[in-house]
């Protein structure tokens, strides 16, 4: 996806998720919104991969 398109999409989604109406809709469905911009989301995903990769390796789990 071209960077300008991704930036526009990210900005617009963050704006919508931040509205009280959307916060209420998400909360009523059990979600706890934690909207992040693209860079913060990437950092979060990278950290989660590192964390769970170690757990999986230690467990010895394999994919069949």
Q: Where are the domains of the chain?
A: 3-59
pLDDT above 90 covers what percent of the chain? 69
pLDDT over 90 at 43, yes or no:
yes
| Reduced 3-state DSSP string for the chain | CCHHHHHHHHHHHHHHHCCHHHHHHHHHCCCCCCCCCHHHHHHHHHHHHHHHHHHHHHHCCCCC
39 pLDDT higher than 90: no
Segment 20-32 mean pLDDT: 94
Instruction: Name 38's Cβ contacts closer than 8 Å, sequence gap at least 6.
Output: 6, 7, 10
- pLDDT of 44 > 90? The answer is yes
- Model pTM score: 0.61
């Amino acid at each position: 996806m071209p960077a300008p398109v991704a930036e526009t999409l990210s900005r617009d989604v963050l704006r919508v998720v931040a509205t009280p109406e959307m916060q209420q809709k998400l909360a009523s469905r059990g979600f706890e919104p934690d909207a992040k911009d693209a860079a913060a989301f990437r950092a979060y995903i990278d950290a989660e991969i590192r964390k769970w990769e170690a757990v999986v390796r230690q467990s010895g789990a394999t994919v069949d």
